[in-house]
Amino acid sequence: MLDTDACGLHQIVKEFAVSKTSDFSDSQPVAASEIVEFEEPVKELLEAFRTQNKLLEPFSEPIYWTKALNPIKEDFLARLERIFKNHHYSNFGEEHQELELKLRDYLGVKTCILVNNATIGLMLALKAAEKLSEVKSKKVITTAFTFPATVQAIKFLGFEPVFADICPFSLCLDPENVERTIKKYGVPLAALPVHVFGNVCDLEAFNYLKQKYGFVLIYDAAHVFGTKVKGHGIGCFGDISVFSLHATKILHSAEGGILTSDSVDYETLHILRNNGFAGVDLVKGLGINAKLSEINCALGLSIFPLIDEAIKKRKKLYELYQAILKPVDFLEPLLRVSSDVSPSYMYCPYALSSKSGISREALIERLKKYKVVIRRYFYPLLSKVNCYLDAAGADELPVSEDIVQRSFVLPLNSYMEIDDVVKICELLKLELTALRSGVTARQAVINPDI
């Protein structure tokens, strides 16, 4: 028989009562009023787990850290019919035009350009930087705590990545460290900070550095579609922002990307994605084929009406995770934004604290038994990967090296329900206790003194 006391299930209800009155710090986007909403359903779920002895049973299907949204089927099929009828599969047809305009309005930006993925989008942004930058240099300052695409784009174009360290709080590139790096390695052509996990870079500090040194500021915004700063979309900061529309993202078109800007004009970026063409038989400069097909755009349009609800649902689930896991020793939430930022809850990132003595890899393996797939992110750190080992700054990243060893993302997607989150949290708590005591989960359940 499952001993619920040992699992701490009964504790959660008490913790919810506490969290109702907790003074959540400015950096944790959880509103106490919203936590109250969960109290009754969570009580019922805890009771069900207790009476049916269900906690240690694996989920019927694996629960991944993300799950792609399906489109509104009838809308998608109708759009496909229209494409078939028009025989218009690429080159900025009706679907493309509609999606680009919708995104421009949604993101609240002057220039919005669709491309075939964010990796190519970053390359186009860097190519534009060559024209725009006041600085003649091959160097681009960036972070090693990112998806390979960020640094690959730099290297693929023959530019030189220079690594600066991240801020231990936001996990985004640290502007002070960037300035120190500039003093050591010279002023770069561009800086390429990443809004990591939905956290927002220090926008003011980067703007200050951009003015002071004259480099082009490109944000890798792959993770932050739907994030708002003071109610405004995040794509208007710096010179260019690059969003991903990959299937793992909240809004997706299977593959795809968006370039946004408030200062760079549409034509400059359009030429770059359109093999240099500015119009029929009018080749104006260097470009590449980065066009997004009509079918991809149709998919994006058929998902677009779902995203506001999807963000609301993710917010609820994220807040539930945060409320349940808040009092758990040795766990640190990594989504940390100030009160003027509303995140899109793309990820649910956590880290084991440095003092936990618990192996993250062991935790990942243990949760797999229940079909709960938590994953390391941005692992390995890019400064440790062969082709970037000799990049300037690669061996001066203590904060990045520390965080990449301890962090992971928990399952979060809009197809999950409250009981999934409650169960995942309980399994996580149980396995943390068991791992600290060097026993199995079942032993931890049986022996309440552990």
Enumerate binding residues for ligand PLP (CB under 6 A).
117-119, 146-147, 149-150, 194, 220, 222-223, 244, 246, 257
Question: CA-CA distance, 255 to 73, in Å (whole number)?
Answer: 18
In the bound state with ligand PLP, the residue whose beta carbon lies nearer, of 194 and 435, is 194
Question: Shortest approach of ligand PLP to residue 244 CB, angstroms?
Answer: 3
Question: CA-CA distance, 344 to 315, in Å (whole number)?
Answer: 7
In sequence order, what DSSP letters do the residues of 352-394 get, joined into one string?
A: E-TT----HHHHHHHHHTTTB--B--S-S-GGGSGGGTTSBTT
Cβ count within 10 A of residue 231: 8
- List the structure tokens of 176: 């002070």
- List the structure tokens of 307: 């995203």
Length reported for the chain:
450
Orientation angle between helical segments 9-21 and 39-52, nearest 10 degrees: 170
In the bound state with ligand PLP, the residue whose beta carbon lies nearer, of 4 and 260, is 260
Question: CA-CA distance, 167 to 180, in Å (whole number)?
Answer: 13
Question: Shortest approach of ligand PLP to residue 196 CB, angstroms?
Answer: 7
- Backbone phi and psi for residue 222, each to the nearest 5 degrees, phi listed first: -55, -35
Contact assessment for residue 255 and residue 290, using Cβ atoms and an 8 Å cutoff: no
Question: Shortest approach of ligand PLP to residue 257 CB, angstroms?
Answer: 5
In the bound state with ligand PLP, the residue whose beta carbon lies nearer, of 257 and 333, is 257
In the bound state with ligand PLP, the residue whose beta carbon lies nearer, of 146 and 433, is 146
Question: Shortest approach of ligand PLP to residue 65 CB, angstroms?
Answer: 12
In the bound state with ligand PLP, the residue whose beta carbon lies nearer, of 42 and 194, is 194
Question: Shortest approach of ligand PLP to residue 408 CB, angstroms?
Answer: 15
Distances (CA, A) of 349 to 25, 69, 339: 18, 20, 18
- List the structure tokens of 55: 């906690």
In the bound state with ligand PLP, the residue whose beta carbon lies nearer, of 7 and 242, is 242
- Backbone phi and psi for residue 236, each to the nearest 5 degrees, phi listed first: -100, 0
In the bound state with ligand PLP, the residue whose beta carbon lies nearer, of 46 and 303, is 303
Name the one residue in this structure whose structure tokens are 């760079």: 264
Question: Shortest approach of ligand PLP to residue 147 CB, angstroms?
Answer: 3
In the bound state with ligand PLP, the residue whose beta carbon lies nearer, of 16 and 225, is 225
Contact assessment for residue 401 and residue 414, using Cβ atoms and an 8 Å cutoff: no
Q: DSSP letter for 304, please.
A: G
Question: Shortest approach of ligand PLP to residue 341 CB, angstroms?
Answer: 18
Question: Shortest approach of ligand PLP to residue 355 CB, angstroms?
Answer: 29
